[in-house]
Amino acid sequence: MPSDVIVRIRSPRGFVDLPGTVDAVGPAASSAFEERKSAPGIHLLAVAVSDSDYAISLSAPVPGDSLAALREGEGRTVLIVFPGHSPVRRRLCAVAVSNVEVVPDPGVASQAAPIDLNAGREGAAPLWLLPAGVFSASPTLSPDGPAARDALVTAARWISSRRTSTLTQLFPPSAFHPEEPARKERLSARRGAALLDQARAALEIAAVGGEEARRDPTATATLRSAATTILSHLIATSLDDRGFAPVAERAAEEILALIEREAGDETARPALRAHAIHLLQLRAPGLTAAQQERARGLVRGLLREAPPYDELTGPWNLAMCGASEFHEGECNILVSTHGFKEIALPPEAPPSPNGWSPYRAFEAPFKTPAGEPIRVFARAATPRDENLEMGMAFFIGVLINRHAQLGAFDLRAAAVQVKQEGYKLMMNSQCAGLTTRFAISQVFPDADIYSSWDSTYFRTGSDGVVTSSEGVDCFVAALRGMSKRASHAELDARLRKAQWPHPQAQIAGFSQFVGPSHPLVVARYSDVNRDGRADYYDGFLDFQLADIAEDIEASMTPRDPGVSASQIGGDGAAGLNWAAGSLNRVAQYSDIWAGLAGQSELYYAFQSGGFFSHREPPHDVPTGGAVQQDLGRLPAVTRFQQSEEALGGLSVEVMFHSHLSHAAKELKRLLCAADAMRRAFDLGHLSSEGALSTPRGQRCALLLTMAGLLEFPADQNRIDGLWSMALKALRLPQISRSAVRACITEEDHEMSNYYGSQRGLAQLLAALERSDPGAFQQLGSEDPLVGRLSEIELSAEGKPEG
């Protein structure tokens, strides 16, 4: 007969006694635990070295925080108390949990009425949390059918607007309304279990290969994605409230099951599978040890471990496409430094695709693993034709060497439509940093891409010809590794040995060329659904996207896109990606930005955070001592977050208003940079010393940054128009762009200050005081709104004013 017993454990509230029954004692305990561990309830195996083992089943229900403490105590000592006897110590060897009833969290009042989660948001989609713990589009509507599905998608968008608050605080306190009492509404662990069941039911309805999925594959993929977002947020909530631990465990199992099913069918979405894996990676602290190990395996499975050597038969042919000023010198380097020999063009070689620069062929002093020659075909290239070999089956790889021209050339290269043919290794060594990945990962998602982290270095002789090149050195190092069938991890090690000294070398594991074996930055910057948000941080992967075309002339005229903020796609989203990428370049190439915490300016702290609106405003945005503004009505908002996990300790999400998603990409860059710099001063992330200690100095620093961002080849009248729009949006006087440009000199460029410098700031302040005293006075205004983005004006219906 089973005997009663007490298992005494340490919980967040001290020692807790959990009643249960002993199922078996001694040698039979282990087998009894194995037989019962899949049955509903909580089953324990408590063992001793030289005493009796116990198989125990606990009585239901169990407090949520006690269950979490029990799981965390696995492998540690517990006390087993038999009535009338002194406690005995045992090691908690194993814990099995299945379909557990959890007691509501102590001190959390039950929800008696529906909660309007979007209350006060003009035009927002309805979203209610019902007393049962489920989402609904109505306070009275039963959470079933199409309305419930709409509610889950709305809930996923609501969740994705947050970064630091979880379901333990449904309404984060307002940074601009400290006088308002903090709202205490939260989700309890019991209701969290009901929400999990709602998400699971949605996954069943929208299952891959099911009737609904075949009828409407896009809508069902969106529903599966919404359910995954909710499950991920439940896991995140368990880190704030350990009472959610059993809910989090079940939620993770549901996501793991989705990952397994999201393949092998025409209705499956590989992007959702990859996204779910990244969410598990992000939520790893909330997973059990076994789930963490499964997640690690899944993450590794997303990456190609090595080039497909068995498929690469015959000679290996690679293209080296360099700007005209690099071409001749890099051909010389292949021969003089790396031992290549120039050969006649093989008869099977295709003609140069650009028609104006014929190939020069070079053979390596080493062979393929099968003993075949390795040949490099070099030609001069421009951004509009540098990628063409990616569409030619003759080549297995391409090296691109050029300047980035601060992003202008990258935009041109990304516009070229080339469909990848066959396997390709692609190395980009242009001075562009990781922003180049925004373009190439979209155009060539199946390539093994090695993109430069920092500017790639070279030297020239007195005649201007390149005499040494980090890009060529690393390219040859990669080819030598491939000739020995090296994995990407091994190629990465070779590239690190070949790379030149860089400021980022202080980072453990820094590699100048970020490839498939370096997932940290790749995952952070891979936007798999082109919604303008880096999906490693994306709570909701929206498949119902709308292509938003740019309208330069109406860039500052709000226009309802007719879709949710998470559905913005096309050129509108691409422009936001470039805005975030440009800020990484700004931070690296201006000594005004050099004061970011932990040298974060070196570590690509900025990433696209997607779109928002007044109906779906951003939450958890630190504001410091800033003047009160409605964040949901600003053209752009940047969310600074200090994080131990981020390189340099700082990460920044760049967001843009969906009603301006049609704005020119160049204007997006200006407005995002303006909010980022203003907010960095507000939060103390940028130095406020010397000339930067005054509002006038900070506003002039912003002018220098914007002027630098507009230095790209384009019609100058158009550029001046964008400049004027930005000044108006910032309430700044209409200062001549030429006057500001004159303060970014060749001297600044030689010091890598393309977006303003302390020297240039002093020059600009002196020039304005001397030549434009009116503007100088306005720049010193005590009005805190001068130099800040103005709220956009919308009608009562949320549509543009006439």
Looking at residue 798, its pLDDT comes to 39
Looking at residue 143, its pLDDT comes to 61
Looking at residue 50, its pLDDT comes to 78
Looking at residue 264, its pLDDT comes to 82
Say which range, 89-103, 210-224, 267-281, 623-637, has the weakest mean pLDDT: 89-103
pTM confidence score: 0.65
Q: Is the pLDDT of residue 138 over 70?
A: yes
Looking at residue 527, its pLDDT comes to 53
| pLDDT band for position 153 (cuts 50, 70, 90) | very high
Alpha-carbon gap, residue 17 to 62, rounded angstroms: 10
Averaged confidence pLDDT in the chain: 84
Say which range, 65-74, 399-408, 512-521, has the weakest mean pLDDT: 399-408
| pLDDT band for position 692 (cuts 50, 70, 90) | very high
Looking at residue 144, its pLDDT comes to 64
Selection from 748, 764, 580 nearest residue 676 by Cα: 580
Selection from 486, 504, 402, 410 nearest residue 448 by Cα: 486
Looking at residue 712, its pLDDT comes to 73
**Domain edges within the chain:** 3-103, 115-301, 309-367+374-415+424-446+460-496+504-512, 545-779
Alpha-carbon gap, residue 261 to 743, rounded angstroms: 58
Alpha-carbon gap, residue 447 to 389, rounded angstroms: 12
Tokens of 56: 């125990």
Looking at residue 797, its pLDDT comes to 38
3-state DSSP percent of the chain in helix, strand and coil, to 5? 40, 15, 40
Q: Are 24 and 55 in contact (CB under 8 A)?
A: yes
Looking at residue 110, its pLDDT comes to 47
| pLDDT band for position 204 (cuts 50, 70, 90) | very high
Q: Find the mean pLDDT for residues 522-544.
A: 58
Any idea of the CA torsion for 194, 296, 524, 413, to the nearest 10 degrees? -120
Selection from 450, 154, 213, 181 nearest residue 318 by Cα: 450
Looking at residue 405, its pLDDT comes to 45
| pLDDT band for position 447 (cuts 50, 70, 90) | confident
The 10s digit of each residue's pLDDT in 353-365 is 998 999 999 999 9
Alpha-carbon gap, residue 377 to 319, rounded angstroms: 5
Alpha-carbon gap, residue 98 to 257, rounded angstroms: 16
Q: Is the pLDDT of residue 70 over 70?
A: yes
Percent of residues, the chain, with pLDDT higher than 90:
44
Q: Find the mean pLDDT for residues 578-598.
A: 82
Looking at residue 174, its pLDDT comes to 65
Q: Are 286 and 235 in contact (CB under 8 A)?
A: yes
Alpha-carbon gap, residue 577 to 569, rounded angstroms: 11
DSSP 8-state secondary structure symbol assigned to residue 284: G
Greater confidence (711 vs 254) lies with 254
Nearest-5° Cα angle at 494, 488 to 498: 140
Q: Is the pLDDT of residue 646 over 80?
A: no
One-character DSSP codes across 446-487: TSEEEEESSPPPEEE-TTS-EEEEHHHHHHHHHHHHHHTT--
Q: Find the mean pLDDT for residues 691-701.
A: 95
What are the beta bridge partners of residue 568?
A: 546
Helix axes 665-682, 570-588, angle to 10 degrees: 50
Pairing assessment for the beta strands 135-136 and 546-547 based on DSSP bridges? unpaired
Looking at residue 534, its pLDDT comes to 54
Q: Is the pLDDT of residue 536 over 70?
A: no
What are the beta bridge partners of residue 514?
A: 451
Q: Is the pLDDT of residue 530 over 70?
A: no
Q: Is the pLDDT of residue 226 over 50?
A: yes
Looking at residue 212, its pLDDT comes to 92
Fold of the domain spanning 309-367+374-415+424-446+460-496+504-512:
Rossmann fold (3.40.50)
Percent of residues, the chain, with pLDDT higher than 70:
84
Tokens of 514: 């970020």
**b/e per residue, 692-718, with b = 16+ CB within 10 A?**
beebbbbbbbbbbbbbbbbbeeeeeee
Looking at residue 86, its pLDDT comes to 80
Q: Which of 159-173, 532-546, 634-648, 734-748 has the largest mean confidence? A: 734-748
Pairing assessment for the beta strands 397-401 and 425-428 based on DSSP bridges? parallel
Amino acid at 400: I
Looking at residue 437, its pLDDT comes to 55
